[in-house]
Amino acid sequence: MKPFTYERATTPAEAAAAVVRHPGAKFIAGGTNLLDLMKLEIEAPQHLVDVNTLKLDRIERTPDGGVRIGALVDNTALASDERIRKDYGVLSRAIVAGASGQLRNKATTAGNLLQRTRCPYFYDTNQPCNKRKPGSGCAAIGGYSRQLAVIGVSNACIATYPGDMAIALRVLDAKVETVNAGGQTRTIPMADFHRLPGDTPHIETALAQGELITAVTLPRPIQGTHIYHKVRDRNSYAFALVSIAAVIQRDGRGRVAVGGVAHKPWRVETAEPAMPQGASAVASRLMAGAKPTHDNAFKVPLVERTLAAVMAEAKTA
Amino acid sequence: MIERSGIQATRRGVLVGGSASVALTTLPLGSAEAAPAVEPPKMKVSLQVNGKQATLELDTRTTLLDALREHMHLTGSKKGCDHGQCGACTVMVNGKRINSCLSLAVMHEGDKVTTIEGLGMPGNLHPMQAAFVKHDGFQCGYCTPGQICSAVAVLDEIEAGVPSHASASLTARPQASNAEMRERMSGNICRCGAYSNILEAMHEVAGTDVAGARA
Ligand SMILES: Cc1cc2nc3c(=O)[nH]c(=O)nc-3n(C[C@H](O)[C@H](O)[C@H](O)COP(=O)(O)OP(=O)(O)OC[C@H]3O[C@@H](n4cnc5c(N)ncnc54)[C@H](O)[C@@H]3O)c2cc1C
Ligand code: SF4
Ligand code: FES
Ligand code: FES
């Protein structure tokens, strides 16, 4: 690990200002992704701003009947919150399908959203990787790509966004609230938060340097059956090959977002009117234009089959 | 304690020697000495470990695991992967289990840390430690301190109603069943495969049978 200086933040805007002030500075929350990457020197911040002191760890009702989740609420607390379990079950389910109990106790809402890809070549510093080292090439294209993306890919990068929680947040139409060094706040819809790789796979989100996430908000609850279905190589403690977050009504209408297939949580709103017609009708629209590799072509039919399983579960629920 | 750290130093000496000899073939002799011009940043941190207050001055890079093992000589917590994947470093911080390898020591100012040594020592074992002994919940023992810390925390989490991937319902109270305990222990890997005996030890402490019913 490269040496770094460390400070504890005092206010959200001060935290943002501290990151802007120090070149190569980063926020640290749970540390479970950042420290992992710092040990491998994939990340090498020269200064860390600890945001755990910011008291952004509350879950509260919003005036419009939704919920505001502080950026520092840990994954265990969020999945266990009574309001989340009752009204936003897909979110609780997605969280407990990810990582391990120890990691969820440390992982924060903001840190989880910002976790970086698990592409094996991103982790292997001996390999070219446009995300880790812009312009160096992509070892995954033409390499071992079983886990990687099948849709929204570019010639520069075929990595996936690996997280579970964000897939549920996408289906729930969550919004990300931020503050910058000047104290200005803004709200970013989940749909626009993560980016596709394009020519700049190292730019992963809509956040500016030093912009701090303060909260994630959920609109008022949507009725229906909440399901998160994660398909992986073992039944616990593994990243998704394909995952589906869905909220489905009695009459078969609903919404669906897919994990493990793209550089961001994958949702195509125009595919959703086809929900009552069944999985095949939805999946063909959702996955239209997919460009899988030889290794990961299985993910395209797997999306349809997982969706069929989710729809069958919703019928019996 | 002195003897033990002597052994560690010897082991480390072998490792350093090994890598230095590799370095010598590629680097001119002087470059190794010229390396860091400035001292890496250090910071003070005060925390409570197993009920005892401690103040340490540490390189900011020191993980909680390394602070416990190398600086406080609490070598019960183990380093398996150092990347959050195996659970051997599991300790409890303010009553919650975490992987101490993925946490910086300086981030624990004022925290209360409980390690395997704090749960119990020979002659005064924690019920979970005694149950692991009774049910042979280990073979080589390397993963065991992490398994025991996790197992204690898992029963607390079930008691507190924290849901898991194995919970059939998000609103009903979780039970200490096989399925629940296996799922919740999946962040602790055991290379010897002592899993089923670990489960028996946990049932004994929880006072449940395989289905999770109170015995
Ligand atoms: C072995 C292992 C298995 C895992 N399995 C899964 C899995 O199956 N599913 C899954 O979803 N995840 C999984 N994870 C990832 C885990 O969920 C993340 O590491 C965790 O959520 C990151 O949260 P954190 O608070 O620790 O982030 P940190 O490591 O502290 O930070 C991550 C990033 O977010 C930035 N950041 C943090 N807070 C803020 C803020 N408020 N504003 C702006 N930027 C901020 C940091 O600068 C950093 O770049 C796994 C991790 C490990 C180690
Ligand atoms: S797919 Fe993306 S992350 Fe993986 S090697 Fe290529 S550029 Fe890097
Ligand atoms: S040493 Fe911490 S999880 Fe493996
Ligand atoms: S007892 Fe040997 S690794 Fe678990």
Q: Which ligand is nearest to the CA of A57?
A: 1
Quickly state the pLDDT bin for A106 (edges 50, 70, 90): very high
Within 10 Å of residue A56's Cβ, how many Cβ atoms? 22
Residue with tokens 């903001």: A110
The answer to whether A193 and A115 are in contact (CB under 8 A) is: no
| Cβ pair B98:A102 closer than 8 A | yes
Strand partners, A218: A67
The answer to whether A218 and A206 are in contact (CB under 8 A) is: no
Average pLDDT over residues A190-205: 98
- Ligand 2: which residue has its CA nearest to atom 8? A129
Mutation pick from A35, A88, A123 vs chain B, by most beta carbons of B within 10 Å, is A35
Strand partners, A67: A61, A218
Q: What is the pLDDT of residues B11-36, one digit of tens each?
A: 433 333 333 333 334 444 444 455 55
Indicate if the pLDDT at residue A281 is higher than 50: yes
CA distances, A136 to each of A2, A120, A264, B78 (Å): 22, 16, 22, 37
Q: Which amino acid is at B63?
A: T
For the Cβ of B190 lying below 6 angstroms from any atom of ligand 4, the answer is yes
Quickly state the pLDDT bin for B209 (edges 50, 70, 90): confident
Burial of B156 from C-beta contacts in 10 A (0-12 / 13-18 / 19+): middle
| Cβ pair B186:A236 closer than 8 A | yes
**φ, ψ dihedrals at A163, nearest 5°:** -75, 165
Which positions in chain B touch A1 (Cβ < 8 Å)? 61
Q: What is the pLDDT of residues B123-179, one digit of tens each?
A: 999 999 999 999 999 999 999 999 999 999 999 999 999 999 999 999 999 999 999
Indicate if the pLDDT at residue A286 is higher than 60: yes
The answer to whether A49 and A19 are in contact (CB under 8 A) is: yes
Of all residues in chain B, the percent with pLDDT exceeding 90 is: 79
For the Cβ of B89 lying below 6 angstroms from any atom of ligand 3, the answer is yes
Q: What is the pLDDT of residues B94-120, one digit of tens each?
A: 999 999 999 999 999 999 999 999 999
Q: What is the pLDDT of residues A32-79, one digit of tens each?
A: 999 999 999 999 999 999 999 999 999 999 999 999 999 999 999 999
For the Cβ of A201 lying below 6 angstroms from any atom of ligand 2, the answer is yes
- Which residue among A1, A4, A8, A34 is best mutated to probe the pocket of ligand 1, counting the most ligand atoms within 8 A of its Cβ? A34
Strand partners, A255: A247
Q: How far, rounded to the nearest angstrom, does the alpha carbon of residue B31 sit from its chain's CA centroid?
A: 37
CA distances, B86 to each of A44, A135, A141 (Å): 24, 34, 30
Q: In terms of DSSP bridges, do strands B112-114 and B42-49 run parallel, antiparallel, or are they unpaired?
A: parallel
